Amino acid sequence: MSGHSKWATIKRKKAATDAKRGAVFTRIIKEITVAARLSGGDPDTNPRLRMAISQAKSANMPQSNVERAVKKGTGDLPGVRYEALTYEGYGPGGAAIMLDVLTDNKKRSVADIRHMMTKYGGNLGESGSVAWQFENRGALTLPSSGVAEDDLFDVAVEYGAEEIDDEDGQYVISVPAEKAYELREALIDRGLPEATVEVGLEPINTVTVVGQAAQQLLKLLEDLEEHDDIEKVSSNFDISQEDMEAYTA
């Protein structure tokens, strides 16, 4: 599997720890606030806000938190003004890394990111240095129990799905970003379980990273994930099952 799916698996295994620290709620609230500020507080006409609210529901965030974040974004309540930024660079083993950042202090964020990249043998690059190695895709995740993959694929292929992975009791469907929410509604209409949706970057090609470089890369990605200002981490690495198990053990 590519870096996208392997890193998604690693993140799920660490999800409980993240939740205890409150990192999940913090990130979702920031995303809701920014989405509402940029395109309004109506999720029916704001796909980014709709996605963020869907993530909030999946994380069991109280509705009052969601409503408050929306109002802060629309200006109905006072709040911190966040700036959306993208940073690019290379990690150990030559893996490309893309970072989606929401911050109220750009200087702090870039200094922290540069420090982490350098610490693990990576480097922060110029804008456009690695972006060409990724494409914007949608990923839908739903339970695989009781759902036949053939039935799922029959629906998904109509919306441009190219692959369906079965990972840890969940199906992960990759589709063009603009079709992700349409497919989600189509699955519900067919009586299939409601899927969670994430839109982000997937690598066009992958770079194989092995041994110590693989372990250093995974440590770097974990540190980046845990930073409060970083919303999403994307990378194009490919590692062996042995290296991944050594890291998650």
Domain containing 31 — which CATH number? 1.10.10.200
Does the reported pTM lie above 0.85?
A: no
- How many Å separate Cα 190 from the centre of its chain? 26
pLDDT at position 8: 53
| pLDDT at residue 30 greater than cutoff 50 | yes
| pLDDT at residue 14 greater than cutoff 50 | no
Final residue belonging to a domain, choices 74, 106, 124: 74
192: containing domain = 134-203
pLDDT digits (tens, 9 = 90+) for 42-83: 998 888 888 888 888 877 888 999 999 999 888 888 877 888
pLDDT at position 226: 83
- Asked whether residue 34 is domain-assigned, the answer is yes
| pLDDT at residue 92 greater than cutoff 60 | yes
Final residue belonging to a domain, choices 74, 100, 118: 74
Give yes or no: residues 103 and 218 share one domain. yes
pLDDT digits (tens, 9 = 90+) for 186-219: 988 888 888 888 788 888 888 999 999 999 999 9
End-to-end CA distance of the chain: 19
The average pLDDT across 9-19 equals 47
CA 204, CA 222: separation in Å to the nearest integer? Answer: 22
Q: Is 182 exposed, middle or buried (0-12, 13-18, 19+ CB in 10 A)?
A: middle
DSSP 8-state class, residue 92: G
CA 81, CA 46: separation in Å to the nearest integer? Answer: 19
The amino acid at 156: A
Final residue belonging to a domain, choices 74, 96, 113: 74
The average pLDDT across 113-118 equals 96
pLDDT at position 95: 94
Give yes or no: residues 144 and 232 share one domain. no
Give yes or no: residues 105 and 156 share one domain. no
Give yes or no: residues 67 and 23 share one domain. yes
The average pLDDT across 116-130 equals 94
Number of domains the chain contains: 3
* Angle of the 241-248 helix axis to the 3-13 helix axis, nearest 10: 20
Give yes or no: residues 35 and 119 share one domain. no
- Asked whether residue 11 is domain-assigned, the answer is no
Percent of the chain as helix, strand, coil, to the nearest 5: 50, 25, 25
Give yes or no: residues 112 and 217 share one domain. yes
pLDDT at position 89: 96
- Asked whether residue 152 is domain-assigned, the answer is yes
